[in-house]
Amino acid sequence: MKMVKSLLLGTAAGLVAMTGAQAADLPVKAKPVQYVKICSLYGAGFYYIPGTDTCLKVGGFVRAEINFNAGGSFNPYRSQNFDTPARDFQTMRTRAGFTLDARSQTEYGTLRSYAIIAAMQTNGGAVGGTPYSTPFSNFAFIQFAGFTAGSTASFFEFDGQGYSNFTPYITSAQAGGGIGVFGYTAQLGNGLSASIAAEDPTVRRSAIANAVAGNTATYGGRRWPDVVANLRIDQAWGSAQIMGAIHDVYGVNTLATNTTANATGYAFGGGLKINLPMLGKGDNIVMQGTYAKGATNYLFSQSGAGGIGAFALTTGFVAATNTALGPVFDAVFTGAAGTTAMELSTGYHFTGGFEHYWVSNLRTSLYGGYGRLRYSDAASAALAVVAGAGTAGSANFSAYQIGSRTVWTPVTNLDLSVDVVYSKVQTAFAGSTTATYGTFQDKGFWAGMFRAQRNFYP
């Protein structure tokens, strides 16, 4: 009996020991895995950053294009000799960018930050030349409790010309380039809002001239930002906006005395967009009109830094035979050297476009714009001196552009488009002749492009 009892106790002890060893060899229970959680608060594409209440959307685009008789990103020539063998008739450009959109809810509403990180490559100009690459970030801003701070579209902008791929002469927009803003938007209900902003004046500056060959006048240093305000309504039928801006024109007459003069330039305008679902789903028409004094960039934002040859379309090589000239100046010193007599230029523009969807993945637009810049007789006389001996008449000029784009979307988020535009500059100083420009006369030209663009949550 004792032997049986001993065997049973020994067996039990062995089993306990074996069970303890096996338990010690079992893996420790893993912590729960944090899977990405969809955030539906702000639309498709957002997810919660693990461990936070912040929703993030990552997107981007890849673009490839070829332009004819235009620069990169379908920028029709502003200044070009059509007969020089150095002219590039075609330009190829690729762009790619990533977008980051982070949002979270606070007791004051949505806190949002947005940024684009992008780069582009354009083919080289010389034989054997290598392509040049440029990184850029045109939009990077923070929005909170109605405030916007950073680089984004101007609060003056309404018609952003989304109906075309081209970079227009005649526009208040920055053609996709951001502008530094510190602004506030109040939501008034029923789609009505009011905004006011301090915006970077640098990109809104054109040139300043005086009555001296070589143009020895310029802008002084920045003193205060452009002040921009708008009143806007967005509803199911479309949207409308009225807007205004004031601009510091601080001129330095650098000849001899560096005399300064200052004036307040301004711009105001209105825009209207009407949705036309009765013609086709997605159809719309948009238009904008703007008047400016001493603030030409609100009319011709793609005129670069302005100047006597801001628009100069020339034929004739080696010597120019004729030129369509469009001088762009915010102001002109009209008195003798060292005086403070400074006159502001005035002008206006109209832009608009209609887009029609033939079917859901095929659409065509028709668009155009007209702008005119005017100078006094005294300012014209001063600019004639800047243009060179033989120049006479009025410095007033105008320009118009008309074009059409067709976009085919064979699969979701892939756009294949063809865009053509006719541009014409109706010249200043018509009929007079100089050694540099030849005879001044109107000139126009056609340009076109093909673009392929893949978007992913842009």
* Per-residue model confidence as pLDDT tens digits over 316-373: 998 999 999 999 999 999 876 556 788 999 999 999 999 999 999 999 999 999 999 9
Q: Where are the beta strands (DSSP E) in 165-306?
A: 179-189, 192-199, 207-210, 217-219, 226-235, 238-253, 259-275, 284-293
* Maximum distance among all Cα pairs of the chain, rounded to whole angstroms: 136
**Domains of the chain with CATH codes:** 45-456 (2.40.160.10)
Q: Got the DSSP string for 407-455?
A: EE-SSTTEEEEEEEEEEEEE-SSTT-EETTTEEE--EEEEEEEEEEEEE
Per-residue pLDDT of the chain (458 residues; tens, 9 = 90+): 444 445 444 544 443 444 444 444 555 555 555 567 899 899 888 999 988 999 999 999 999 999 999 988 888 889 999 999 988 889 999 999 999 999 999 998 999 999 999 998 888 655 555 566 788 888 999 999 999 999 999 999 999 899 999 888 899 987 678 899 999 999 999 999 999 999 999 989 999 998 877 677 889 999 999 999 999 999 999 999 999 999 999 998 876 577 888 999 999 999 999 999 999 999 999 999 999 999 999 999 888 789 999 999 999 998 999 999 999 999 999 876 556 788 999 999 999 999 999 999 999 999 999 999 999 999 999 999 999 999 999 999 999 999 999 999 999 999 999 999 999 999 999 999 999 999 999 999 999 999 999 999 76
**What is the structure's pLDDT at 17?**
45
One-letter amino acid of 258: N
DSSP classification of residue 338: T
- In this prediction, residue 2 carries a pLDDT of 45
- pLDDT for residue 174: 79
Which DSSP state fits 297?
G
The pTM score is 0.87
For the chain, the residue count is: 458
Pseudo-torsion of CA 438, 440, 441, 447, nearest 10°? Answer: 70
Instruction: Using CA atoms of 72, 77, 80, 85 in order, give the dihedral in degrees to the nearest 10.
Output: 50
304: Cα within 13 Å, side-chain hemisphere: 14
Picking from 202, 208, 252, the residue whose alpha carbon sits closest to that of residue 344 is 208
Residue 83 carries which side chain, given as an amino acid letter?
Answer: D
Rg of the chain taking only CA atoms, in angstroms? 31
